[in-house]
């Protein structure tokens, strides 16, 4: 499974601190790979709409997350705007943000 994650916007947004990250679960330790793959499946990622949420009036400080997943011949991309209403998608975002901050 290959996952691409990007963050945009938010309070005190600094593009250099929010670099996109791509994770290939085949290159991760098995426990880490299982965790990320499990989060993708728990979020029913391939069933999610391409756009999740919409910014409210004056929502300049909200973050937007773009997640693309390729797995077993399928690919899907979603853009989720804070606040993310689906807790399982939020859990996936949280795990990917950790990877974004610590890509090694």
* pLDDT of the residue at 79: 96
User: Global pTM?
Assistant: 0.86
HEC letters along 75-99 = EEEEEEECCCCCHHHHHHHHHHHHH
Q: Quickly tell me which residue has 């996109």 as its tokens.
A: 20
At residue 104, the pLDDT reads 61
Which DSSP string do the residues of 12-55 spell out, in sequence order? T--GGGS--EEEEGGGS-HHHHHHHHHHHHHTTGGGS-SEE---
Report yes or no: 66 and 22 within 8 Å, Cβ to Cβ. no
pLDDT block averages, 10 residues each, the chain of length 104? 89 62 95 97 97 74 91 96 92 93 72
């Amino acid at each position: 499974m290959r996952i691409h994650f990007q963050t945009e916007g938010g309070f005190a947004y600094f593009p250099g601190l929010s670099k996109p990250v791509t994770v290939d679960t085949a290159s991760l330790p098995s426990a880490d790979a299982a965790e990320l793959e499990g989060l993708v499946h728990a979020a029913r990622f391939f069933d999610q709409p391409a756009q999740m949420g919409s910014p409210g009036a004056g929502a300049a400080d909200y973050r937007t997350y773009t997640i693309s997943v390729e797995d077993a011949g399928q690919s899907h991309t979603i853009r989720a705007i804070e606040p993310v209403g689906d807790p399982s998608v939020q859990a996936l975002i949280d795990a990917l943000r950790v990877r974004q901050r610590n890509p090694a």
